[in-house]
A and B are shown apart, each in its own frame.
Chain A
Protein backbone atom coordinates (compact mmCIF):
# COMPACT_ATOMS: atom_id res chain seq x y z
CA UNK A 1 0.00 0.00 0.00
CA UNK A 2 1.35 3.43 -0.96
CA UNK A 3 0.12 7.01 -0.69
CA UNK A 4 -0.79 9.36 -3.51
CA UNK A 5 1.55 12.38 -3.22
CA UNK A 6 -1.21 14.66 -4.55
CA UNK A 7 -4.33 13.81 -2.55
CA UNK A 8 -3.02 11.50 0.18
CA UNK A 9 -5.28 8.57 -0.74
CA UNK A 10 -4.02 5.04 -0.21
CA UNK A 11 -3.11 3.22 -3.42
CA UNK A 12 -2.78 -0.52 -3.89
CA UNK A 13 -1.13 -1.75 -7.08
CA UNK A 14 -2.32 -4.56 -9.27
CA UNK A 15 0.03 -7.50 -9.71
CA UNK A 16 2.76 -7.08 -12.29
CA UNK A 17 3.24 -3.32 -12.05
CA UNK A 18 6.92 -2.34 -12.36
CA UNK A 19 9.07 0.57 -11.27
CA UNK A 20 8.78 3.66 -13.54
CA UNK A 21 5.35 2.57 -14.74
CA UNK A 22 2.70 5.31 -14.91
CA UNK A 23 -0.59 4.78 -13.07
CA UNK A 24 -3.62 6.96 -12.31
CA UNK A 25 -4.74 7.72 -8.77
CA UNK A 26 -8.35 6.52 -8.70
CA UNK A 27 -9.36 9.29 -6.29
CA UNK A 28 -7.88 12.48 -7.72
CA UNK A 29 -6.92 11.31 -11.21
CA UNK A 30 -3.27 12.36 -10.91
CA UNK A 31 -0.81 10.54 -13.15
CA UNK A 32 1.81 8.96 -10.90
CA UNK A 33 5.13 7.30 -11.57
CA UNK A 34 5.98 4.25 -9.47
CA UNK A 35 9.36 5.15 -7.97
CA UNK A 36 9.96 2.14 -5.70
CA UNK A 37 8.00 -1.05 -5.09
CA UNK A 38 9.27 -1.84 -1.61
CA UNK A 39 8.33 0.40 0.05
CA UNK A 40 5.72 1.53 -2.47
CA UNK A 41 6.34 5.16 -3.39
CA UNK A 42 5.11 7.45 -6.14
CA UNK A 43 5.90 10.82 -7.65
CA UNK A 44 3.73 12.92 -9.91
CA UNK A 45 4.52 11.94 -13.47
CA UNK A 46 6.13 14.64 -15.59
CA UNK A 47 3.68 16.43 -17.89
CA UNK A 48 4.26 18.12 -21.19
CA UNK A 49 4.26 21.88 -20.61
CA UNK A 50 1.79 23.93 -22.61
CA UNK A 51 1.59 27.62 -23.35
CA UNK A 52 -1.96 28.96 -22.80
CA UNK A 53 -1.25 32.49 -23.86
CA UNK A 54 1.04 33.08 -20.90
Chain B
Protein backbone atom coordinates (compact mmCIF):
# COMPACT_ATOMS: atom_id res chain seq x y z
CA UNK B 1 0.00 0.00 0.00
CA UNK B 2 1.31 3.42 -0.95
CA UNK B 3 2.27 5.44 2.08
CA UNK B 4 0.55 8.75 2.84
CA UNK B 5 2.90 11.60 1.97
CA UNK B 6 3.39 14.25 4.63
CA UNK B 7 4.72 17.79 4.50
CA UNK B 8 5.68 19.69 7.65
CA UNK B 9 6.01 23.45 7.31
CA UNK B 10 7.89 25.11 10.14
CA UNK B 11 9.78 22.08 11.38
CA UNK B 12 12.49 23.75 13.44
CA UNK B 13 10.21 24.44 16.40
CA UNK B 14 9.18 22.06 19.13
CA UNK B 15 5.82 21.05 17.64
CA UNK B 16 7.49 20.42 14.27
CA UNK B 17 10.14 18.26 15.93
CA UNK B 18 7.48 16.33 17.80
CA UNK B 19 5.59 15.71 14.57
CA UNK B 20 8.70 14.23 13.00
CA UNK B 21 9.30 12.06 16.08
CA UNK B 22 5.74 10.70 15.98
CA UNK B 23 5.41 10.35 12.22
CA UNK B 24 8.66 8.44 11.63
CA UNK B 25 7.17 5.80 13.96
CA UNK B 26 3.88 5.78 12.02
CA UNK B 27 3.68 2.75 9.73
CA UNK B 28 1.34 4.26 7.14
CA UNK B 29 2.99 7.61 6.41
CA UNK B 30 6.17 8.93 4.83
CA UNK B 31 7.52 12.40 5.54
CA UNK B 32 8.25 14.02 2.19
CA UNK B 33 9.68 17.27 3.53
CA UNK B 34 10.21 19.41 6.60
CA UNK B 35 10.82 23.11 6.13
CA UNK B 36 12.83 25.70 7.97
CA UNK B 37 13.98 28.96 6.46
CA UNK B 38 16.74 29.30 9.06
CA UNK B 39 18.13 25.75 8.80
CA UNK B 40 17.83 25.02 5.05
CA UNK B 41 20.11 22.15 4.02
CA UNK B 42 20.87 21.04 7.56
CA UNK B 43 19.96 17.56 8.80
CA UNK B 44 16.87 17.56 10.95
CA UNK B 45 18.69 15.82 13.79
CA UNK B 46 21.00 18.83 14.10
CA UNK B 47 17.98 20.76 15.37
CA UNK B 48 16.13 17.84 17.01
CA UNK B 49 18.94 15.67 18.41
CA UNK B 50 16.59 12.94 19.64
CA UNK B 51 16.02 12.03 15.97
CA UNK B 52 19.67 11.20 15.22
CA UNK B 53 19.84 7.82 13.54
CA UNK B 54 16.12 7.68 12.79
CA UNK B 55 15.84 10.02 9.80
CA UNK B 56 18.17 11.31 7.11
CA UNK B 57 15.80 14.13 6.15
CA UNK B 58 17.19 17.63 5.74
CA UNK B 59 15.30 20.88 6.11
CA UNK B 60 14.19 22.46 2.87
CA UNK B 61 13.16 26.04 2.18
CA UNK B 62 9.46 26.85 2.59
CA UNK B 63 9.69 28.27 -0.93
CA UNK B 64 10.29 24.76 -2.30
CA UNK B 65 7.31 22.89 -0.90
CA UNK B 66 5.23 20.67 -3.18
CA UNK B 67 1.98 18.73 -3.20
CA UNK B 68 1.48 16.13 -0.48
CA UNK B 69 -1.43 14.15 0.92
CA UNK B 70 -1.37 15.91 4.30
CA UNK B 71 0.35 19.17 5.20
CA UNK B 72 1.04 20.14 8.82
CA UNK B 73 1.56 23.83 9.53
CA UNK B 74 3.72 24.64 12.58
CA UNK B 75 4.18 28.33 11.92
CA UNK B 76 4.01 31.25 14.33
CA UNK B 77 0.55 32.57 15.10
CA UNK B 78 -0.58 34.95 12.37
CA UNK B 79 1.70 33.55 9.66
CA UNK B 80 -0.49 30.60 8.70
CA UNK B 81 -3.55 32.77 8.13
CA UNK B 82 -1.71 35.02 5.73
CA UNK B 83 -0.64 32.07 3.53
CA UNK B 84 -3.51 29.67 3.98
CA UNK B 85 -4.64 29.72 0.35
CA UNK B 86 -1.17 28.70 -0.84
CA UNK B 87 -1.01 25.84 1.66
CA UNK B 88 -4.54 24.69 0.85
CA UNK B 89 -3.61 24.39 -2.84
CA UNK B 90 -0.84 21.92 -1.97
CA UNK B 91 -2.78 19.33 -0.01
CA UNK B 92 -6.20 17.79 0.41
CA UNK B 93 -5.78 17.89 4.18
CA UNK B 94 -4.42 20.93 6.03
CA UNK B 95 -3.68 20.57 9.74
CA UNK B 96 -2.75 23.84 11.43
CA UNK B 97 -1.07 23.78 14.83
CA UNK B 98 -1.17 27.55 15.30
CA UNK B 99 -4.08 29.46 16.78
CA UNK B 100 -5.06 31.02 13.45
CA UNK B 101 -8.13 28.92 12.74
CA UNK B 102 -9.15 27.58 16.15
CA UNK B 103 -11.78 30.21 16.80
CA UNK B 104 -15.04 30.58 14.90
CA UNK B 105 -15.57 34.25 15.68
CA UNK B 106 -13.48 36.95 14.01
CA UNK B 107 -14.36 39.23 16.93
CA UNK B 108 -12.56 36.81 19.25
CA UNK B 109 -9.38 37.33 17.23
CA UNK B 110 -9.79 41.06 17.74
CA UNK B 111 -10.34 40.80 21.47
CA UNK B 112 -8.04 37.89 22.44
CA UNK B 113 -5.28 38.22 19.81
CA UNK B 114 -5.59 41.90 19.05
CA UNK B 115 -5.47 41.47 15.29
CA UNK B 116 -7.79 41.54 12.31
CA UNK B 117 -8.03 38.04 10.87
CA UNK B 118 -7.10 38.25 7.18
CA UNK B 119 -9.25 35.28 6.15
CA UNK B 120 -12.11 35.19 8.61
CA UNK B 121 -14.34 33.86 5.84
CA UNK B 122 -12.49 30.54 6.25
CA UNK B 123 -12.90 30.20 10.03
CA UNK B 124 -15.95 27.98 9.78
CA UNK B 125 -14.23 25.65 7.32
CA UNK B 126 -11.81 24.47 10.00
CA UNK B 127 -12.80 21.75 12.46
CA UNK B 128 -11.59 22.22 16.02
CA UNK B 129 -9.27 19.23 16.27
CA UNK B 130 -10.31 17.64 19.53
CA UNK B 131 -11.35 14.08 18.64
CA UNK B 132 -13.13 13.42 21.94
CA UNK B 133 -15.57 16.24 21.13
CA UNK B 134 -15.64 16.37 17.33
CA UNK B 135 -14.69 12.93 16.02
CA UNK B 136 -17.59 12.70 13.55
CA UNK B 137 -16.80 16.11 12.08
CA UNK B 138 -13.12 15.21 11.75
CA UNK B 139 -13.90 12.16 9.63
CA UNK B 140 -13.16 13.13 6.06
CA UNK B 141 -12.47 16.74 7.07
CA UNK B 142 -9.99 18.69 4.96
CA UNK B 143 -9.09 21.55 7.30
CA UNK B 144 -8.27 21.00 10.98
CA UNK B 145 -7.21 23.49 13.65
CA UNK B 146 -5.33 21.80 16.49
CA UNK B 147 -6.39 23.12 19.92
CA UNK B 148 -4.15 25.07 22.26
CA UNK B 149 -2.30 23.10 24.91
CA UNK B 150 -3.79 24.65 28.04
CA UNK B 151 -7.20 24.66 26.35
CA UNK B 152 -6.88 20.91 25.81
CA UNK B 153 -5.93 20.33 29.43
CA UNK B 154 -9.00 22.26 30.60
CA UNK B 155 -11.66 21.36 28.03
CA UNK B 156 -11.24 17.58 28.17
CA UNK B 157 -11.96 17.18 31.91
CA UNK B 158 -14.63 19.88 31.89
CA UNK B 159 -16.66 18.88 28.82
CA UNK B 160 -18.64 16.04 30.44
CA UNK B 161 -19.31 18.12 33.54
CA UNK B 162 -20.50 21.20 31.65
CA UNK B 163 -22.75 19.08 29.43
CA UNK B 164 -24.49 17.36 32.32
CA UNK B 165 -24.60 19.64 35.37
CA UNK B 166 -25.67 23.16 36.29
CA UNK B 167 -22.45 25.07 36.85
CA UNK B 168 -22.08 28.29 38.79
CA UNK B 169 -18.37 29.00 38.35
CA UNK B 170 -15.14 27.38 37.14
CA UNK B 171 -11.60 28.27 38.24
CA UNK B 172 -8.74 26.72 36.27
CA UNK B 173 -5.26 26.82 37.78
CA UNK B 174 -2.81 25.40 35.23
CA UNK B 175 0.86 24.60 35.80
CA UNK B 176 2.74 24.79 32.52
CA UNK B 177 6.19 23.62 31.37
CA UNK B 178 8.61 25.91 29.57
CA UNK B 179 8.31 24.21 26.16
CA UNK B 180 4.79 25.62 25.89
CA UNK B 181 6.41 28.99 25.21
CA UNK B 182 7.99 27.71 22.02
CA UNK B 183 11.54 27.31 20.76
CA UNK B 184 12.44 30.99 20.41
CA UNK B 185 14.26 32.36 23.44
CA UNK B 186 13.08 35.52 25.17
CA UNK B 187 14.23 37.60 28.14
CA UNK B 188 11.72 35.71 30.25
CA UNK B 189 12.89 32.28 29.12
CA UNK B 190 16.60 32.95 29.66
CA UNK B 191 17.71 30.22 32.07
CA UNK B 192 18.68 32.42 35.06
CA UNK B 193 15.29 34.13 34.78
CA UNK B 194 13.12 31.10 34.07
CA UNK B 195 14.72 28.50 36.33
CA UNK B 196 13.00 28.06 39.67
CA UNK B 197 10.10 30.39 39.04
CA UNK B 198 6.41 29.88 39.71
CA UNK B 199 5.35 32.61 37.35
CA UNK B 200 1.74 33.67 37.00
CA UNK B 201 2.30 35.11 33.55
CA UNK B 202 -1.31 35.82 32.55
CA UNK B 203 -3.69 35.79 35.52
CA UNK B 204 -6.70 36.70 33.39
CA UNK B 205 -7.84 36.88 29.78
CA UNK B 206 -5.34 34.34 28.44
CA UNK B 207 -5.81 33.65 24.72
CA UNK B 208 -6.76 30.03 25.26
CA UNK B 209 -9.75 31.19 27.27
CA UNK B 210 -11.46 31.98 23.96
CA UNK B 211 -11.24 28.30 23.00
CA UNK B 212 -12.64 27.22 26.35
CA UNK B 213 -15.68 29.47 25.94
CA UNK B 214 -16.15 28.29 22.38
CA UNK B 215 -16.10 24.58 23.26
CA UNK B 216 -17.75 24.64 26.69
CA UNK B 217 -21.23 25.87 25.83
CA UNK B 218 -23.31 28.23 27.96
CA UNK B 219 -20.44 29.13 30.27
CA UNK B 220 -20.25 32.82 29.37
CA UNK B 221 -18.58 34.75 32.17
CA UNK B 222 -18.18 31.64 34.33
CA UNK B 223 -14.67 30.47 33.41
CA UNK B 224 -11.65 31.86 35.25
CA UNK B 225 -8.25 30.75 33.98
CA UNK B 226 -4.83 31.48 35.48
CA UNK B 227 -1.82 29.58 34.10
CA UNK B 228 1.52 29.44 35.90
CA UNK B 229 4.95 28.71 34.43
CA UNK B 230 6.63 26.15 36.68
CA UNK B 231 9.81 24.11 36.85
CA UNK B 232 9.05 21.62 34.07
CA UNK B 233 10.12 21.45 30.43
CA UNK B 234 7.14 19.41 29.29
CA UNK B 235 3.71 19.02 30.75
CA UNK B 236 0.59 20.75 31.95
CA UNK B 237 -1.29 19.97 35.09
CA UNK B 238 -4.66 21.69 35.40
CA UNK B 239 -6.33 21.86 38.79
CA UNK B 240 -9.90 22.90 38.07
CA UNK B 241 -12.30 24.05 40.78
CA UNK B 242 -15.95 23.67 39.79
CA UNK B 243 -18.79 25.19 41.80
CA UNK B 244 -22.24 23.79 41.10
CA UNK B 245 -25.76 25.18 41.13
CA UNK B 246 -27.11 21.76 42.09
CA UNK B 247 -26.48 18.83 44.41
CA UNK B 248 -24.30 15.99 43.13
CA UNK B 249 -22.18 13.15 44.42
CA UNK B 250 -18.94 11.58 43.25
CA UNK B 251 -20.69 8.61 41.70
CA UNK B 252 -22.65 11.04 39.46
CA UNK B 253 -19.32 12.42 38.26
CA UNK B 254 -17.94 8.94 37.64
CA UNK B 255 -21.01 7.95 35.60
CA UNK B 256 -20.76 11.11 33.53
CA UNK B 257 -17.04 10.68 32.87
CA UNK B 258 -17.39 7.00 32.02
CA UNK B 259 -20.29 7.64 29.67
CA UNK B 260 -18.30 10.27 27.78
CA UNK B 261 -14.86 8.73 27.72
CA UNK B 262 -15.16 4.96 28.27
CA UNK B 263 -14.02 4.09 24.74
CA UNK B 264 -11.53 6.90 24.22
CA UNK B 265 -8.04 5.58 23.39
CA UNK B 266 -6.20 8.51 24.94
CA UNK B 267 -8.17 9.28 28.11
CA UNK B 268 -7.41 7.54 31.40
CA UNK B 269 -8.99 7.97 34.81
CA UNK B 270 -6.54 8.32 37.68
CA UNK B 271 -7.78 8.20 41.24
CA UNK B 272 -5.78 6.31 43.84
CA UNK B 273 -6.30 6.40 47.58
CA UNK B 274 -2.64 6.02 48.43
CA UNK B 275 0.85 6.31 47.00
CA UNK B 276 2.59 9.13 45.20
CA UNK B 277 0.45 9.13 42.07
CA UNK B 278 -3.07 9.54 43.40
CA UNK B 279 -4.09 12.02 40.76
CA UNK B 280 -2.94 12.87 37.22
CA UNK B 281 0.72 13.78 37.02
CA UNK B 282 2.48 15.35 34.01
CA UNK B 283 5.61 13.31 34.67
CA UNK B 284 3.73 10.09 33.93
CA UNK B 285 2.23 11.22 30.61
CA UNK B 286 5.45 12.78 29.29
CA UNK B 287 6.04 11.77 25.66
CA UNK B 288 2.58 10.22 25.34
CA UNK B 289 -0.70 11.29 23.79
CA UNK B 290 -2.62 10.55 26.98
CA UNK B 291 -4.85 12.94 28.90
CA UNK B 292 -5.16 11.63 32.45
CA UNK B 293 -8.19 12.85 34.41
CA UNK B 294 -8.97 12.56 38.12
CA UNK B 295 -11.33 14.27 40.54
CA UNK B 296 -12.51 14.59 44.11
CA UNK B 297 -15.48 16.27 45.78
CA UNK B 298 -14.67 18.61 48.65
CA UNK B 299 -17.13 17.45 51.32
CA UNK B 300 -17.13 20.74 53.20
CA UNK B 301 -17.77 23.14 50.30
CA UNK B 302 -19.36 20.91 47.60
CA UNK B 303 -16.58 22.05 45.27
CA UNK B 304 -15.48 19.54 42.63
CA UNK B 305 -11.74 19.46 42.02
CA UNK B 306 -10.88 18.13 38.56
CA UNK B 307 -7.25 17.39 37.79
CA UNK B 308 -5.83 16.71 34.35
CA UNK B 309 -2.33 16.04 33.03
CA UNK B 310 -1.06 16.13 29.46
CA UNK B 311 2.22 16.50 27.62
CA UNK B 312 1.77 19.94 26.07
CA UNK B 313 3.75 18.96 22.96
CA UNK B 314 1.92 15.68 22.38
CA UNK B 315 -1.76 15.65 23.43
CA UNK B 316 -1.48 19.43 23.65
CA UNK B 317 -0.16 19.79 20.08
CA UNK B 318 1.55 17.32 17.73
CA UNK B 319 0.06 14.09 19.08
CA UNK B 320 -3.43 15.48 18.89
CA UNK B 321 -2.62 16.63 15.34
CA UNK B 322 -1.60 13.09 14.34
CA UNK B 323 -4.71 11.68 16.01
CA UNK B 324 -6.82 14.08 13.94
CA UNK B 325 -4.97 13.08 10.76
CA UNK B 326 -5.62 9.39 11.41
CA UNK B 327 -9.33 10.11 11.84
CA UNK B 328 -9.53 12.36 8.80
CA UNK B 329 -7.96 9.82 6.45
CA UNK B 330 -9.81 6.88 7.98
CA UNK B 331 -6.97 4.81 9.43
CA UNK B 332 -6.61 3.36 12.93
CA UNK B 333 -6.74 6.27 15.38
CA UNK B 334 -3.82 5.23 17.63
CA UNK B 335 -1.30 4.70 14.80
CA UNK B 336 1.97 6.48 15.59
CA UNK B 337 0.73 7.35 19.08
CA UNK B 338 1.22 4.27 21.21
CA UNK B 339 4.38 5.37 23.02
CA UNK B 340 4.35 4.60 26.74
CA UNK B 341 5.35 7.13 29.37
CA UNK B 342 8.33 6.87 31.70
CA UNK B 343 8.59 5.75 35.28
CA UNK B 344 10.26 7.03 37.28
Residues of chain A whose beta carbon lies under 8 Å from any beta carbon of chain B: 6-9, 27-31, 44, 47-50
| A29→B258 CA distance, assembly (Å) | 12
Contact B254 A7 (CB under 8 A): yes
Closest 5 CB pairs of A and B: A7-B254, A47-B273, A47-B274, A8-B251, A8-B255
Cβ-closest chain B residue relative to A50: B274
Contact A7 B258 (CB under 8 A): yes
| A29→B251 CA distance, assembly (Å) | 14
Interface residues on B, range: 10 to 19
| A33→B272 CA distance, assembly (Å) | 15
Contact A28 B269 (CB under 8 A): yes
| A35→B251 CA distance, assembly (Å) | 20
- Interface status of B335 (Cβ within 8 A of chain A): no
- Interface status of B26 (Cβ within 8 A of chain A): no
Contact A28 B274 (CB under 8 A): no
| A47→B258 CA distance, assembly (Å) | 24
Cβ-closest chain B residue relative to A5: B251
**Closest CB of chain B to A45's CB: distance in Å?**
8
Q: Which residues of A contact B329 (CB under 8 A)?
A: none
Contact B254 A28 (CB under 8 A): yes
Q: List 7 A-B contacts (CB under 8 A).
A: A6-B251, A7-B258, A9-B258, A27-B258, A28-B254, A29-B272, A49-B274
**Closest CB of chain A to B340's CB: distance in Å?**
17
| A9→B257 CA distance, assembly (Å) | 11
| A9→B273 CA distance, assembly (Å) | 18
Cβ contact of B255, chosen from A7, A44, A50, cutoff 8 A: A7
- Interface status of B270 (Cβ within 8 A of chain A): yes
Cβ contact of A7, chosen from B251, B270, B273, B274, cutoff 8 A: B251
Q: In the complex where A7-B258, A27-B258 touch, is A44 in contact with B273 (Cβ < 8 A)?
A: yes
| A33→B199 CA distance, assembly (Å) | 44
Q: Mark interface residues in B240-251 (1 if CB within 8 Å of A CB, else 0).
A: 000000000011
15 new A-B contacts at CB < 8 Å, known A8-B258, A29-B270: A6-B250, A6-B251, A7-B251, A7-B258, A8-B251, A9-B254, A27-B254, A27-B262, A27-B269, A28-B254, A28-B269, A28-B271, A29-B269, A30-B273, A47-B273
Q: Which residues of B contact A7 (CB under 8 A)?
A: 251, 254-255, 258
Q: Which residues of A contact B258 (CB under 8 A)?
A: 7-9, 27
Contact B269 A8 (CB under 8 A): no
Q: Which residues of A contact B250 (CB under 8 A)?
A: 6
Q: Which residues of A contact B272 (CB under 8 A)?
A: 29
| A31→B273 CA distance, assembly (Å) | 9
| A47→B275 CA distance, assembly (Å) | 10
| A52→B258 CA distance, assembly (Å) | 29
Q: Which residues of B contact A6 (CB under 8 A)?
A: 250-251, 254, 271
**Closest CB of chain B to A47's CB: distance in Å?**
4
Q: Which residues of B contact A9 (CB under 8 A)?
A: 254, 258
Contact A48 B254 (CB under 8 A): no
Contact B271 A29 (CB under 8 A): yes
**Closest CB of chain A to B301's CB: distance in Å?**
18
| A8→B258 CA distance, assembly (Å) | 10
Interface centre among B250, B254, B270 (most CB of A within 10 A): B254
Q: Mark interface residues in B253-277 (1 if CB within 8 Å of A CB, else 0).
A: 0110010001000000111111000
Contact B251 A30 (CB under 8 A): no
| A9→B254 CA distance, assembly (Å) | 9
Q: Which residues of A contact B254 (CB under 8 A)?
A: 6-9, 27-28
